[in-house]
Amino acid sequence: MDMTKTVPLDRSATVLVAGSTGLVGSVVIRHLHEQGFTSVVGAHTADVDLTDPAATTEYFDSIRPAVVVDAAARVGGIDANNSEPVEFLNDNLRIQTNLFTAAHAVGVDRLLFLGSSCIYPKYSPQPIPESALLTGPLEETNDAYAIAKIAGVIAVRSYRRQYGRRWISAMPTNVYGPGDSFHPTRSHVLPALIRRFHEAVESGAEEVVVWGTGTPRREFIHVDDLAAACLHLLDHYDDPEPVNVGCGTDVSIAQLASLVADAVGFTGRITWDVSKPDGTPRKLLDTSRLAGIGWKPAIDLVDGLRDTARWYADSVGAS
C-alpha cells in the first residue's frame, strides 16, 4: 500500500473543524494556526446544529471549506455510553451523515474523520491492527457508539470509491488532556479520576472509590499528540483504510489510579466498586501504519497526566 502519495495541504486552504469547542477540535485548531494555516473556521453547536441536515448544508454552503476535520461527536465514558446507547447511536450517525453529505455537496476534497478504538472487536489481538475491524463481536457497553463510528469509516471508504473523494479516517485510542470533560459520572476514566482524587485531597477523605476491578488495560494519548497526528495524516496519508493513533503502551486501571493519586498528592486508600462495568479487557493499538508514514507521539503519560491534573486544579481554583 502506498501511504505517502499525498502532498501537504495548502496552508491558505479554508479548513473547517467541526466540534471546535471539544477536547480534540479545539486543539486541532491551535495546531492548524501554529502550522501556518491562514483560514481556519471552527464550528460548534452554537454555529450549526449538525444533527439538522438542512442547517448543515446551509452552513457548509456559507463557509465553502476545502478541508474538513470531523471532530464533532456525542462522546462520553463507559457509563454514559452504557446508559444512553440510543443517543450515542442516533446523534453520531446523524452528525456524520449530515456532515459528509454537506461536505460532498460543496466539493470538499480532503476530510479527516475521527473514530475511536472501540470500533474493534472486544477480544481483538493485542496490539490491535486496523485489519481487526469487523472480525468479531463488539464490547456491549459501547456497541451503539462503535457501530456509528464503524458506519463513519465505511462512509469515508464509500465516498472515496464512488466519488473519488480523498477522505481518510483516524482511530485514536483513549484521548485525554486539558479542556476535557471532568464530569464525575459521564466523563472518561482519566479526567474522572483526576477530579475524584483532587476532591479527596481537598476534603481530606481517606478513601477513593474507583470503578470496576482495576484489571482492564487502556492506552492513553495526549490530545496534543492526537492533534499533531491528525495534521500529519492530512499532509501525508491518502488511503481508504483507517489509521490507528496511539502511543504504543498501555496501563491497567489500577496503575492509572496510582499514577493519578501520585499526580494530585493523594496518599489514602483506593477501593474498587465492582458493581460498575469493566468494559473491554484491553485496548492497545498497533500503530505501525502511522509510524510507517513518519509520525510518533511525544508526550509521556506521567508528564501529560501531571499537566492535565494541574490544569484541572487551576480551572476549579479559578471558578
φ, ψ dihedrals at 189, nearest 5°: -60, -45
Does 152 engage in binding with ligand GFB (CB under 6 A)?
no
Secondary structure (3-state) at 113: strand
Report CA torsion sign: 110, 226, 311, 200.
positive
The burial of 202, by beta-carbon neighbours within 10 Å (0-12 exposed, 13-18 middle, 19 or more buried), is given as exposed
Secondary structure (3-state) at 39: strand
Least separation in angstroms between CB 213 and ligand GFB: 8
Secondary structure (3-state) at 271: strand
Does 81 engage in binding with ligand GFB (CB under 6 A)?
yes
# of chain residues touching ligand GFB (CB under 6 A): 25
Contact (Cβ atoms closer than 8 angstroms) between residue 71 and residue 19 = yes
Q: Would you say 48 or 72 has its CB closer to ligand GFB?
A: 72
Q: Would you say 251 or 313 has its CB closer to ligand GFB?
A: 251
**One of 27, 41, 78, 234 touching ligand GFB (CB under 6 A):** 78
Site for ligand GFB in 271-300 (CB under 6 A): 276-280
**One of 51, 56, 116, 124 touching ligand GFB (CB under 6 A):** 116
For this structure, is 312 an active site residue? no
> How far, in Å, CA of 24 to CA of 227, rounded?
7
Does 174 engage in binding with ligand GFB (CB under 6 A)?
yes
Secondary structure (3-state) at 131: helix
Tally of residues, the chain? 319
Does 74 engage in binding with ligand GFB (CB under 6 A)?
no
β 14-18/67-70 pair status: parallel
Largest CA distance in the chain: 60
Nearest residue to the partner ligand GFB, using Cβ? 77
Q: Around Cβ 61, how many Cβ atoms within 10 Å?
A: 11
| Binding flags for ligand GFB, 180-219, as an x/- string (CB under 6 A) | --------xx--xx----------------xxx---x-x-
Q: Which of 145, 159, 176, 237 is catalytic?
A: 145
Does 95 engage in binding with ligand GFB (CB under 6 A)?
no
Q: Would you say 16 or 194 has its CB closer to ligand GFB?
A: 194
Does 6 engage in binding with ligand GFB (CB under 6 A)?
no
Give the closest residue to 215 by CA, choosing from 131, 171, 277: 277
Query: Mind telling me the catalytic residues?
Result: 145
Binding site for ligand GFB (CB under 6 A): 77-79, 81, 116, 118, 141-142, 145, 174, 188-189, 192-193, 210-212, 216, 218, 253, 276-280
